[in-house]
Every structure is written in C-alpha cells, then in structure tokens.
Structure 1
Amino acid sequence: MNNFRLFLGLRLSEAAAEFLSSKMTSLVEQGLTFRSWTHPADLHVTLHFLGDTPASRVPDIGALAAEAAAATAPFALALTEAGTFGPPSAPRVLWCGLAEPAARKGALAALHAALGARLAASGFAAEARPFRAHVTLARGGAAGCSPAALVAAWHGDSAAPFVAPQPESAPRAQEKPAWTADGCTLFRTHLGRKPSYEAIGCYPFKS
C-alpha cells in the first residue's frame, strides 16, 4: 500500500518566515546546539498531524479541508515569544508562539476544531494532545541549551523574551511580523530531504 506522511497546516507570510530564518541563524551563530533546525521553506503552523496515510485517502482529506476552509473567514496572526517543550536542561523542541487580535481571538482554535471534527467523522484518529499553536524552529536541544543560555542568545539580537514552557500562562505579544491567514494547506513529508514538506493541496478561506 502506498502511504504518504501527511499533515494539515498554515503557511507563514514571507516576512514572518524571513524573520524566523534570521533568528535561527543568529541562535546558531551564538552557539545554540540543536540536533536539527527547521529549513526556512518548511516553517509552518501545524493544525493536524495525520501521519502515515494511504495515498487513496488524499482526496477525502482534501474535500473535508476544503469544506472547513470555505466556512472560515481569513484571520490575522502575529509571531510572539519563543519557548520550549521538554526538559529545561535539554529541550526537545524550540518554538515561536502566535497571537491573534482580540477581535478574532479564537479563530485559529476554531479552525483546528472544525478540521478535527471532520477528520474524526471520516475515520481519522483524534489527536490526544491539546492544540497549542506554534512554529517549530528546532528539535533535540543539547545540554548547553538551558533556559539561561537560550535567554541570553534570544536577547542577543532582539528585545523579545524567551519563555520556558508554561502552558497555563498567556502569551505576551511582541512587535513581530503579522500576516493574514487566507487558507490551509495539506503537506506531504519527505523524510531525509531538505526542505522536507511538499504542499499537495491548498484550500482557500471564504472571501
């Protein structure tokens, strides 16, 4: 059976991707050691990870994604703080958070829920982890990537703070690139290739 490794997500604007690419370069130059850094062309916001999926299901996923997208109005997003998942002494993931304007706050979570309901109705397993929107920057931090080291490196070229993982606390928005999300994308992952993600379906939001 021919399987594709798939996920649904949002693309970043060119300005947001360039900002984060510059930030990652700066962190590397300052000696932050992670096993792998995200290729600038692969920066995205994951909505639903589908994993290894029969290629025959791609049309079904496309149809339900198009349906959810057609019921969603475009909404604004902005980059906020950096943070980590995993042990502070050797973080598993380095990420950048997202914020929405007060007038449309919750639009991203609503899209995630709409897609999740349709995926579940089509027989896809529900994700166990709660949705926490972010852009993954790097994975597999070494021992030298302690919160103190990350704070120092992040402040090396920006006034934006680095925050250790605190799920219960609200993100603090900063002056960062903002853009309007106007559609969602179905991505296929090509393991061992950089960039790794291929867009195989794009679904515009309602106009």
Structure 2
Amino acid sequence: MENFRLFVGVAVSNDVIRAMTPILSQLSASLPFKRWTHPADLHVTLHFLGDVAVNRVENLYEAMARIAQTASPFRLQLGELATFGQPDAPRVLWCKVSEPAPAAAASIAASQEDPLASLHDALATPLASAGFALEARPFRAHVTLARNGNAACGPAAIAAAWSEATAQSGAVAPLAWTAERVTVFRTHIGRRPGYERLAEFPLRGAL
C-alpha cells in the first residue's frame, strides 16, 4: 500500500509569496543556510501527520471538511525572523506569524484565543480520534524559511539581513493576508517546490 507524507496547514497567499520571493533571494545571498524554502512552499504547519496510507486519505478529507466549517476566516501577518536550535548554529530560520495589530486587539477585546492556535486545537481531537498520529510538541505558529545554518547565521547577522532584504525589496504593504482555508499538503522529498496541495477546505463563510 502506497503512503503519502502529509501535513495540514495554512498556505501563504499568492500576493505575500510574490512579495517574499525577492526577500528570500536576498536573504539566501546573505545567510549561508544550506537549504532554503521555495517561495511557493511557504505555509504555516498546523499538524504534521507523517506517512498516511492512500486508502485513508478520504477519511482525512471527511474530517477536514467538517472541522474547517467550525472556524471563520482570519487575518495573518509575517513578522520578524527567529530560529530554532543553538543561536550560533541555528537548525531552522523562521518568520513569526500572528494577527495584525488591529485584528489582535479585536480578538483580545472579545476574549478570543489566537485564531491559528484555535484552529490547531480544533483539528487535534478529531484527527486523533480518526487514528492520525499527531506530534506532542507545543504549537508555535511560524513559516519556515531555511534550514541548517552555521556560525555566520547568528542573531545579529539575521537581523541585519532581514532589515536589508525587506528594505531592498521595495515592499510598502505589510506581509499580510486573509486565511480562508485549511490545506492538506503532500511532501515530495527532493522536489522543488516540494509541497503539493492535495485538497483545500474553506473556512466558514469563505468563498
């Protein structure tokens, strides 16, 4: 039985992908990470599912369609860079992602949880109940940009490279978009772009 390597996430919009393409090019010229994310692969992972038998994919789709209709579209914005791993040899370079300030203030005023965290939590129980193995580590919303850095990829170098890249890109609008659907991605190892959007499920009220 063939397996698909799958994860569930929120794709970055085409407009933000276009804006990030020259930024990623500039960053990769300044920071010697070994592997950079293709712009078309930019996304926020909600749940990594690992290898899933092909005959179980339809079960996944049924669960996703139900869960997606419990959440409404929400705004997201890319922020500053951060890393996982040792600061002097980071394993992963990633971009912070959160609600834009006005939307975040509205959520706080309404005593609402962060929408990405809420969507992550809403997906967890139904997916686990359907027999899909989920990672136990805490959820941290981020967009991965690169992997496998070295001593030249320290915090000061990253901050300087991000500042220069965003300035040179000429982007005047915030790197923001409306998340209107949740996506099941398939990973193709060794291919660029490496993620195939197998199915997309609109959130409640999305067109």
Aligned residues: 191
Letter in 1 for 2:180: D
Give 1 or 2: higher helix fraction. Answer: 2
Partner of 2:190: 192
State the secondary structure of the residue aligned to 2:164: coil
Superposition pairs of residues 42-191 of structure 1, within 5 angstroms: 42-100=41-99, 101-102=103-104, 103-104=106-107, 106-158=114-166, 176-191=174-189
d(CA) in 1 for partners of 2:166, 2:5: 36
Secondary structure of the residue aligned to 1:91 is strand
Report the alpha carbon displacement of residue 39 of structure 1 after superposing the two structures with TM.
0.5
Contact 2:94–2:145 (8 Å) recurs in 1 = yes
Query: Residue deviations 1:90-121, cap 9 Å, x none?
Result: 10000111111222451111111111111111
Which residue does 2:25 correspond to in 1?
Answer: 25
TM superposition score normalised by structure 2: 0.87
Deviation readout 1:46-92 (Å, 9 max, x if unpaired)? 11100111111111111111111011111111111111111111100
The answer on whether the counterparts of 2:47 and 2:134 sit within 8 Å (CA) in structure 1 is no
The answer to which of 106-115 and 144-153 deviates more is 144-153
Distance 2:164 2:121 in 1: 38
How far apart in 2 are the matches of 1:196 and 1:153? 25
State the partner residue of 2:170.
Answer: none
SS of residue matched to 1:34: coil
Using the alignment, how far apart are the partners of 1:15 and 1:139 within structure 2?
24
Identity of aligned residues (%): 52
Matched AA of 1:149? A
| Counterpart Cα distance in 2 of 1:129 and 1:203 | 25
Query: Where in structure 1 are there 5+ consecutive unaligned residues?
Result: 160-174
Unpaired runs of at least 5, structure 2: 108-112, 168-172
> TM-score, normalised to structure 1's length?
0.87
Q: How far does the alpha carbon of each residue in 1:119-174 deviate from its partner, in whole angstroms, 9 at most, with x for none?
A: 11111223111000111000111221111221221222447xxxxxxxxxxxxxxx
Task: Please report the RMSD computed on the Cα atoms of aligned residues, expressed in angstroms.
Answer: 1.4
- Give the counterpart letter for 2:147 in structure 1: R
Q: CA deviation at 1:179?
A: 1.2
Q: Distance in 1 between matches of 2:71 and 2:159?
A: 37
* Shift, 1:37, TM fit: 0.3
| 1:29 CA drift (Å) | 2.4
CA distance in 2, matches of 1:24, 1:132: 22
- Separation of aligned partners in 2, 1:179 and 1:156: 23
